[in-house]
Structures are given as structure tokens and as C-alpha cells.
Structure 1
């Protein structure tokens, strides 16, 4: 898995692993509350995109 989903201060964000950016950690804030429903939505959208990264 090269993209993780994590919460920071009650908001969801994507965590891109260092191998993708020459050793630099990158995050993308989603401005969505950390709820079970939002996690499912993000998971559904992130996994196909992750396959494109490979």
C-alpha cells in the first residue's frame, strides 16, 4: 500500500509514502470529518488510484 488514510485533529488526510517522492513525506488534506462513512468513501476512491501508482 503506497497511500494511507489517517486522521489528524478529527479530519481525514491521505499519506503518500516516501518512496513516491524521493524520500519526502507528503500529505493531502481531504477536509472531511473522521467518520466511519467518510473512511469508506475515501477507501473506495483511493484504492483504484493506488493501482495507477504502481
Structure 2
């Protein structure tokens, strides 16, 4: 399957959809345990801070 043009997006409250771009992500899941999703994003906005 060709991945040309394949793009993932991330909606962030208070930001336009074009303010961030998904660089990579990893999803860990297993039976009977919570899942963990990590997302690396890029943005041209210098004032963004990570909150977990």
C-alpha cells in the first residue's frame, strides 16, 4: 500500500487544525490494561507547552 499523501492530524482545543502537524505516534495496547498513545507534533508556534 502506498503511503504517498498519508497524513494524520491532531485536534487541539484552542488551536486551528493547521497549527500543528503530527510527526510520529506510537500506540501501546494490551488486554486488560489501559492503552498509551504518545504523539510527537511540530508547530511554528513557539509558545506551546506540553501538558499531560
Normalised by the length of structure 2, the TM-score is: 0.27
Give the structure with the higher percent strand. Answer: 1
Normalised by the length of structure 1, the TM-score is: 0.27
Larger radius of gyration: 2
Give the structure with the higher percent helix. Answer: 1
